[in-house]
């Protein structure tokens, strides 16, 4: 056919055909390219998309590691609890079917088991549009079992449901709460060691994957699999539970006896290693219920006169909770006061700016830069006294004179060497840094006030760590809480080693300062109230002003009383600090509000820690003589120079007063041995408060009572007075009963 014979219609059809064919070819190419792209480049993406649609994943929770004390007692662990919840739709449906008020039945039963108000629980179940209402977030095992039994007995298992879950549990309650911290609802560490070592303790969650059909039912197949969880490691701390309990007990006594407004804090440290044996702040919260205020905080909230539920009320409650959680020993700062004089004297001796043979004078003040800066003893300490006396009596003019000899540049250098310008590095969160003068800002006045620990701030852990450098022979060490990290089979993953940062003073200087401080305790120095019978203890008290809060005349009126003490030995050493923030008692000196409690603490923990007694103790622990022959019992008492009285004509001891294990004062005690059935012989307790030691001994002995002295007593100290007794005046007690009297030096020093 000739081209001229092709009609226009045919030509148009042919053109359209070519266009359509070309379009189809282009589309086919695009499809082929996309198929190639999907097969080779997008395969994994769409495979995973398909995998996600046909599979589901369940988390396998890792078990959080435990926290142990130094003796492997569990301080924190994980336990199973149960969430108790109701299906409101099921309750409504079954109530209509059976004509029974199941909501009321459940409210009555669970309110008794879970200690929840019945009316509140009923409203919670009925006045809601939620399908799932939680009744109890963390029921314990006994509560769970009681709930299950209640449901079975009433055949309502489908209406009330339970879900097992894990939660953090602290078996010792409030013990070491500020050190341990706590976790949140997701078991994440929020405070303390729980926070610092969260990644170590938490482990890594696993998961279980399985295929599902359109109805959501599990299907076996190649898409199922398990990635096991990796449990967290456990940590072994340096905390000794006995020492911790003793420290917390003393802090609570101080808080109560001296009406302390801003908490009491204490630390016990091994000076040779830096291990923290105890750290506490009054009053400890319960990490099992960390969002519940302690009794003191509740009292403050109730006395605030704020309207419950108001924004101001909520803000103040949150502030009190933050304070309650705060580890004051690490996170807050204070002016160390006269305990810093240990550093001033150590620096001066190490530099050679003073010698122990130097003499000093005190008129009750020292003039610096045109300012008359007072001594705590406004009448002065006299003239021509030694360096040792100046430190023991906490003389401010002596320290200012020494600081002038040291000079501002050298003084700053020693402050830096003792670690005050750096954090200790303790493995606890939120450690506070020191607030100190800049080198160029240290004039004569700043140097003078700094010499006796005023007008700068340090953390309590910083102060104790720096003092420990004097206690251990001049080595600045790094304190720590965690000794080991172990797996769940007890294998050691890592272990702490002692970190010595530097030698800050010579060993001879450290020994000299320690001897001066020890003489001040065993003699008649300002720290005599820290005396511990039978042990060498070096101590220094301190009382500092708080310049953050002033009265209407611009004067500081709040005080901080503190005491630092250490008991050196050839094998190891131990140091203690107690800081009392805003005591409200009449006398606020550290020698009164802190030193006697340091004595009580060391009297308890030094024998426990197997420290060797340096001299014969004036106390005697009564043995068990019941069942022993009278000759054997009396010989044992004679050998220990203890007076005794035998009552009866028998040959075997049937009873004794005091009982075995009771500590009594050797010089003024009598043990009564009964060889026949005895009739109780009662005596009337006299009052000895306000009497001297000698007067109290005579009166109590003549009254037929045995005596135990608390608070520290040195034979060289003559100015000790009884401030309290544990048996009330006119009480009727058995002859030979033990009365504990607390004694205190009456010539108070700061």
Q: Judge whether 558 and 582 are in contact, CB under 8 Å.
A: yes
Decide: helix, strand or coil at residue 520: helix
Calculated CA dihedral for residues 275, 281, 286, 287, nearest 10 degrees: -40
Strand 371-374 with 643-647, pairing: unpaired
Task: Work out the burial of residue 551: count CB atoms within 10 Å of its CB; fewer than 13 is exposed, 13-18 middle, 19 or more buried.
Answer: exposed
Rounded to an integer, what is the distance from CA 61 to the centroid of its chain? 29
Q: How far apart are CA 287 and CA 290, in angstroms?
A: 5
Q: How far apart are CA 97 and CA 89, in angstroms?
A: 12
Buried b / exposed e over 252-271, threshold 16 CB at 10 Å, is bebbebbebebbbbbbbbbb
State the DSSP code for 230: B
CA angle 579, 435, 452 (to 5 degrees): 60
Residue with tokens 């033990």: 738
Decide: helix, strand or coil at residue 636: helix
Q: Judge whether 307 and 426 are in contact, CB under 8 Å.
A: no
All residues at 6 or more sequence positions from 161 whose CB lies less than 8 Å from its CB, including other chains: 84, 85, 86, 87
Residue with tokens 């006030």: 449
All residues at 6 or more sequence positions from 634 whose CB lies less than 8 Å from its CB, including other chains: 644, 646, 673
Handedness of CA 332, 335, 336, 341 (dihedral sign): positive
Quote the tokens at residue 43. Answer: 């395969």
Strand 706-710 with 738-745, pairing: parallel
Quote the tokens at residue 296. Answer: 């003191």
Q: How far apart are CA 562 and CA 544, in angstroms?
A: 8
The HSE-up count of residue 193 (CA atoms within 13 Å, CB side) is: 29
- The predicted-structure confidence for 332-357, as pLDDT tens digits, reads as follows 999 999 999 999 999 999 999 999 99
Q: How far apart are CA 495 and CA 684, in angstroms?
A: 58
Q: Judge whether 73 and 58 are in contact, CB under 8 Å.
A: no
Q: How far apart are CA 391 and CA 345, in angstroms?
A: 8
Q: Judge whether 272 and 472 are in contact, CB under 8 Å.
A: yes
Q: Judge whether 468 and 514 are in contact, CB under 8 Å.
A: no
The pLDDT of residue 738: 87
User: What is the 3-state secondary structure of 78-106?
Assistant: EEEEEEEEEEHHHHHHHHHHHCCCHHHHH
Q: How far apart are CA 564 and CA 530, in angstroms?
A: 9
Q: Judge whether 357 and 332 are in contact, CB under 8 Å.
A: no
- The predicted-structure confidence for 507-546, as pLDDT tens digits, reads as follows 999 999 999 999 999 887 888 899 988 889 999 999 999 9
Buried b / exposed e over 372-391, threshold 16 CB at 10 Å, is ebebbbeeebeeebebbbbb
Q: Judge whether 274 and 499 are in contact, CB under 8 Å.
A: yes
Decide: helix, strand or coil at residue 500: strand
Q: How far apart are CA 730 and CA 34, in angstroms?
A: 103
Q: How far apart are CA 64 and CA 79, in angstroms?
A: 10
Decide: helix, strand or coil at residue 469: helix
How far apart are the two ends of the chain, measured CA to CA in Å?
129
The pLDDT of residue 715: 47
The pLDDT of residue 742: 81
Task: Work out the burial of residue 351: count CB atoms within 10 Å of its CB; fewer than 13 is exposed, 13-18 middle, 19 or more buried.
Answer: middle
The pLDDT of residue 223: 52
Q: Judge whether 284 and 326 are in contact, CB under 8 Å.
A: no
Buried b / exposed e over 615-625, threshold 16 CB at 10 Å, is eebbbbebbeb
The H-or-E segment that residue 603 falls in is helix 595-608
Residue with tokens 């506070």: 432
State the DSSP code for 535: S
The pLDDT of residue 721: 82
Q: Identify the segments of the chain with pLDDT beneath 70.
A: 1-6, 38-60, 207-226, 569-571, 615-617, 711-719, 745-749
Q: Judge whether 426 and 468 are in contact, CB under 8 Å.
A: no
Q: Judge whether 269 and 101 are in contact, CB under 8 Å.
A: no
The H-or-E segment that residue 74 falls in is strand 74-87
Number of H helices, E strands in the chain: 24, 34
Q: Judge whether 476 and 482 are in contact, CB under 8 Å.
A: no
Q: Judge whether 344 and 452 are in contact, CB under 8 Å.
A: yes
DSSP code string of 318-356? HHHHHHHH--HHHH-EE--GGGGHHHHHHHHHHHTS--T
Decide: helix, strand or coil at residue 614: coil
Largest CA distance in the chain: 158
Q: How far apart are CA 434 and CA 431, in angstroms?
A: 10
Tell me the Ramachandran region of residue 529: left when phi exceeds 0, alpha when psi lies from -120 to 50, beta otherwise.
alpha
């Amino acid at each position: 056919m000739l081209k001229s014979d092709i009609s226009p219609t045919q030509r148009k059809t042919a053109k359209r055909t070519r266009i359509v064919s070309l379009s189809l070819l282009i589309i086919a190419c695009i499809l082929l390219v996309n198929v190639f792209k999907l097969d080779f480049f997008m395969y994994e993406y769409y495979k995973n998309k398909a995998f996600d649609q046909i599979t589901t994943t369940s988390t396998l929770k890792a078990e959080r590691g435990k926290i142990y004390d130094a003796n492997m007692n569990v301080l924190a662990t994980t336990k199973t609890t149960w969430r108790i919840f109701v299906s409101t739709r099921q309750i409504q449906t079954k109530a209509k079917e059976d004509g029974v008020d199941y909501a009321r039945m459940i409210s009555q039963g669970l309110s008794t088991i879970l200690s929840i108000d019945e009316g509140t629980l009923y409203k919670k179940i009925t006045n809601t549009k939620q399908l799932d209402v939680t009744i109890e977030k963390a029921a314990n095992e006994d509560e769970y079992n009681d709930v299950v039994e209640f449901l079975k007995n009433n055949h309502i298992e489908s209406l009330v449901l339970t879900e097992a879950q894990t939660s953090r549990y602290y078996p010792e309650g409030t013990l070491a709460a500020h050190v341990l911290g706590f976790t949140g609802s997701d078991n994440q560490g929020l405070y303390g060691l729980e926070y610092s070592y969260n990644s170590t303790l938490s482990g890594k969650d696993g998961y279980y994957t399985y295929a599902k059909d359109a109805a959501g039912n599990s299907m076996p197949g190649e898409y199922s699999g398990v990635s096991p969880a990796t449990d967290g490691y456990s940590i072994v701390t340096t905390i000794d539970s006995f020492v911790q309990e003793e420290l917390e007990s003393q802090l609570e006594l101080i808080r109560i006896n001296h009406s302390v407004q801003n908490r009491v804090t204490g630390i016990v440290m091994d000076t040779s290693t830096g291990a923290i044996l105890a750290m506490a702040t009054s009053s400890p919260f319960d990490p099992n219920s960390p969002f519940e205020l302690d009794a003191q905080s509740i009292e403050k909230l109730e006395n605030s006169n704020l309207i419950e539920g108001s924004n101001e009320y909520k803000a103040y409650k949150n502030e009190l909770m933050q304070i309650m959680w705060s580890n004051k020993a690490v996170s807050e700062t204070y002016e160390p006061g006269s305990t810093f004089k240990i550093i001033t004297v150590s620096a001066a001796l190490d530099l050679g700016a003073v010698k122990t043979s130097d003499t000093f004078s005190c008129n009750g003040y020292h003039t610096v830069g045109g300012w008359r800066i007072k001594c705590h003893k406004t009448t002065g300490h006299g003239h021509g006294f030694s360096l040792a006396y100046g430190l023991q009596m906490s003389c401010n003019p002596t320290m200012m004179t020494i600081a002038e000899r040291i000079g501002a540049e050298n003084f700053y250098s020693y402050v830096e060497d003792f670690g005050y310008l750096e954090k200790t590095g303790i493995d606890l969160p939120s450690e506070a840094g020191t607030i100190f003068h800049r080198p160029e800002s240290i004039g004569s006045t700043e140097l003078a006030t700094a010499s006796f620990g005023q007008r700068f701030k340090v953390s309590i852990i910083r102060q104790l760590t720096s003092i420990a450098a004097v206690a251990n022979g001049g080595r600045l060490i790094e304190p720590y809480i965690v000794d080991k990290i172990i797996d769940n089979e007890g294998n050691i993953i890592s272990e702490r080693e002692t970190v010595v940062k530097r030698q800050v003073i010579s060993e001879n200087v450290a020994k000299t300062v320690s001897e001066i401080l020890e003489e001040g305790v065993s003699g008649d120095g300002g720290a005599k109230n820290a005396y511990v019978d039978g042990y060498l203890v070096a101590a220094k008290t301190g009382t500092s002003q708080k310049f953050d809060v002033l009265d209407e005349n611009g004067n500081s009126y709040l005080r901080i009383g503190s005491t630092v003490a250490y008991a050196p030995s050839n094998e190891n050493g131990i140091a203690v600090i107690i800081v009392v923030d805003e005591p409200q008692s009449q006398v606020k000196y550290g020698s009164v509000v802190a030193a006697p409690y340091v004595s009580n603490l060391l009297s308890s923990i030094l024998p426990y820690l197997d420290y060797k007694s340096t001299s014969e103790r004036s106390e005697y622990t009564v043995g068990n003589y019941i069942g022993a022959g009278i000759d054997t019992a009396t010989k044992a008492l004679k050998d220990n120079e203890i007076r005794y009285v035998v009552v009866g004509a028998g040959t075997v001891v049937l009873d004794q007063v005091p009982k075995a294990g009771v500590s009594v004062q050797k010089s003024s005690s009598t043990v009564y041995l009964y060889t026949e059935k005895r009739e109780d012989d009662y005596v009337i307790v006299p009052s000895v408060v306000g009497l001297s030691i000698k007067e109290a001994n005579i009166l109590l002995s003549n009254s037929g009572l045995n005596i135990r002295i608390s608070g520290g007593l040195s034979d060289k100290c003559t100015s000790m007075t009884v401030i309290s007794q544990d048996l009330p005046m006119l009480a009727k007690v058995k002859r030979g009963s033990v009365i504990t009297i607390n004694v205190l030096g009456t010539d108070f020093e700061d």
